[in-house]
Amino acid sequence: MKLNIEVLGKKLEIEQGTTFEEVAKQFQSEFKSDILLAKQNNKLIELSSPIKQGGEIRFYDISYMEGMRVYHRSVSFLMIKAIKEMLGKKASVVIEHSLHKSLYCEVREKDVKVNQKFLDELTEKMQELVKKDIPIKKYTFYKDDAIEKVREFGMENKARLFRFRRASNINIYEMDGLYDYFYGYMVPSTGYLKSFQLMLYENGFLIRFPDRKNPQKILEFTDPAKISSVFMEQMKWCTLMGVNNVADLNEAITNGKFGDLVRINEALHEKKVAEIADKIYQRRDKVKVVLIAGPSSSGKTTFANRLCVQLSVLGIIPHAISLDDYFINREDVPLDEFGNKDFEDINTLDLKLFNDNMTRMIAGERVEMPHYNFVTGKREYNGNFMTLEKGGIFVIEGIHGLNDMLSASIAPENKFKIFISAMTQLNIDDHNRISTSDSRLIRRIVRDNQFRGRDATTTIAGWDYVTRGEEKNIFPYQENADAIFNSATIYELSVLKQYAEPLLFKIDQSQSEYVDAKRLIKFLDYFLGANGDAIPNNSIIKEFLGGSCFKV
């Protein structure tokens, strides 16, 4: 049977059953790097799959986020296969988290030292598997059979995770006799995985990947040492709470320990906020301005309020200021490269006015504060005067807080900078991490619907714009922080799931946001739902669920 398809505007007639990979080869010259994934009828499809119907087909290489996810996942499988060939099929290797677009991994085997010699051998083994161009195949198992299959390779955390799956069948990938479960799609064979680099880091190593903008080169690595220390601390927190993966979390829920988990997690948060307040107190003779910055849905507002409480306990008088009130008039907002108003550019703020106000108030002057009217898009003055008395401090929240352009006129010793983000250390299992971006997106979907009247389609549609702004305006400055606060909680996705799922299911397959909605629905399906009654009203999570004791 013949099928009519269209790729990059070119119409083709093919035999039904022709694979996407076969068609992709005809268009490879149009892409910067190897094609890795296909999309048809608004569904992502692996290249090894046969084409069953006509219609337009899109292909993705590593320069697209969809392709990069496939590449990360497939190289991870390659690395796991290589380690199990070196150390035995039950050898334990854990992919912990993403760090500067690399993956941090640890080998959990007694008497195995991860040093440069080990990494050289591992690299050689991985390259050997790439040259063999081994097929990566997907098989469907009944759940009980899938549990037995992963246990055969020492993957007990996956076996425990499968217990909570509602589906009776589970898809498992195979690479030359190694079977493993992954959340997402794979390339057709190891021959696609030519570009990667291993680097010693902390107690393990990093897998480094090609640059999306220049796929022929490995992305340059700048060591985010402060962010890394937060991830390592979170690993200790997970161990303290006895919850390292989703199976552990689900078992805590089924065993009636969810409330304890919430209380321990919130106590750890409060302890960390208090520690940051203590650092500010130790520099109270110098620090006049606390600057808080972080990406969308990191919980900046609640954190700022909790910090103000802790500063008050220490006898410091906090004055909260929102950088939003220093927006220039909407008609003057600069345009981005796409010709749209770029509300996340630092020049949307009146930097001159901000610096003038801050320096005058620090000097003891009384200043009338601006107010930005989001309805009219213009600045107003409503008789709100402020000054800085003895023992006072300004607590300023906004995405540009860590950029020195914002506060250029304020002496460095007068500033204390805080970076906040939701850097979850909880993983699905040893080989499938939880994306911090996805965690924040789920937070935002819930909050936008609860308080801003937006549906999930609108939130997902704008997420690329938000993350592009973060890459430009926030993450490059995170290492400038004097303190970093991780706002992620171990428990939150079990609660947020019940709010997010109905919103995601509303997104129809005809909508372009369906691909992301489907991915998030599958992701949330790993979690058992939990009642949020145990969450205290000063929790960062209440900023998204509602019921916060703070004005958020």
What are the chain's domains?
Answer: 2-61 (3.10.20.30), 66-223 (3.30.980.10), 243-325+390-545 (3.40.50)
Tokens matching residue 57:
């087909």
Q: What is the pLDDT of residues 316-338, one digit of tens each?
A: 999 999 999 999 999 999 888 88
Tokens matching residue 521:
């629905």
Tokens matching residue 457:
């389609």
- SS3 (DSSP) at 534: helix
Mean pLDDT across 247-251: 97
pLDDT classification of 169: cutoffs 50, 70, 90: very high
Q: Is 391 left (phi over 0), alpha (psi -120 to 50) or beta?
A: left
Is the pLDDT assigned to residue 424 strictly greater than 90? no
Cα gap 25→17, rounded to integer Å: 16
Closest by CA to 336, choosing from 464, 511, 475, 479, is: 464
Q: Which residues contact 550 (CB under 8 A, 6 or more apart)?
A: 301, 302, 305, 306, 538, 543
pLDDT classification of 467: cutoffs 50, 70, 90: very high
Cα gap 287→495, rounded to integer Å: 38
- SS3 (DSSP) at 39: strand
Q: What is the pLDDT of residues 530-546, one digit of tens each?
A: 999 999 999 999 999 99
Closest by CA to 518, choosing from 176, 183, 143, is: 183
For every residue of 239-270, DSSP letters joined together read: HHHT--BHHHHHHHHHTT-HHHHHHHHHHHHH
The answer to whether 218 and 209 have CB atoms below 8 angstroms apart is yes
Q: Which residues contact 13 (CB under 8 A, 6 or more apart)?
A: 2, 3, 4, 5
Q: Which residues contact 128 (CB under 8 A, 6 or more apart)?
A: none
pLDDT at res. 508: 95
Q: Which amino acid is at 205?
A: F
pLDDT at res. 1: 85
- Give pTM, 2 decimals: 0.94
Whole-Å CA distances, 344 to 122, 399, 469? 43, 8, 6
pLDDT at res. 425: 75
pLDDT classification of 294: cutoffs 50, 70, 90: very high
The answer to whether 292 and 540 have CB atoms below 8 angstroms apart is no
The dihedrals phi and psi of 452, each to the nearest 5 degrees, come to -120, 0
Q: What is the pLDDT of residues 276-287, one digit of tens each?
A: 999 999 999 999
Q: What share of the chain is helix, strand, coil (3-state, %, to 5)?
A: 40, 20, 35
pLDDT at res. 220: 92
Mean pLDDT across 269-297: 96
pLDDT at res. 517: 97
Q: Which residues contact 177 (CB under 8 A, 6 or more apart)?
A: none
- CA 197 vs. chain centroid, Å, equals 22
Q: What is the pLDDT of residues 79-100, one digit of tens each?
A: 999 999 999 999 999 999 999 8
pLDDT at res. 531: 94
pLDDT classification of 241: cutoffs 50, 70, 90: confident
The answer to whether 320 and 308 have CB atoms below 8 angstroms apart is yes
Is the pLDDT assigned to residue 413 strictly greater than 90? yes
Residue 509 burial (CB < 10 Å; 0-12/13-18/19+)? exposed
The answer to whether 425 and 487 have CB atoms below 8 angstroms apart is no
Which percentage of the chain shows pLDDT scores above 70? 100
pLDDT at res. 243: 93
The answer to whether 429 and 247 have CB atoms below 8 angstroms apart is yes
pLDDT at res. 239: 84
The answer to whether 162 and 146 have CB atoms below 8 angstroms apart is yes
Neighbours of 435 (CB within 10 A): 14
The answer to whether 81 and 185 have CB atoms below 8 angstroms apart is no
pLDDT at res. 551: 87
Residue 522 burial (CB < 10 Å; 0-12/13-18/19+)? exposed
Element (H, E) at 370: strand 367-373
Mean pLDDT across 281-307: 95
Mean pLDDT across 344-372: 95
pLDDT at res. 238: 87
Tokens matching residue 552:
């958020």
pLDDT at res. 492: 97
Pairing verdict, β 43-46 and 102-107 = unpaired
3-state secondary structure string across 156-216? HHHHHHHCCCCCCEEEEEEECCEEECCCCCCCCEHHHCCCCEEEEECCEEEEECECCCCCC
Closest by CA to 402, choosing from 482, 298, 302, 466, is: 482
Which percentage of the chain shows pLDDT scores above 90? 91
User: What's 379's DSSP letter?
Assistant: E
Is the pLDDT assigned to residue 433 strictly greater than 90? yes
pLDDT classification of 339: cutoffs 50, 70, 90: confident
Cα gap 428→431, rounded to integer Å: 8
Cα distance between the two ends of the chain: 59
Is the pLDDT assigned to residue 343 strictly greater than 90? no
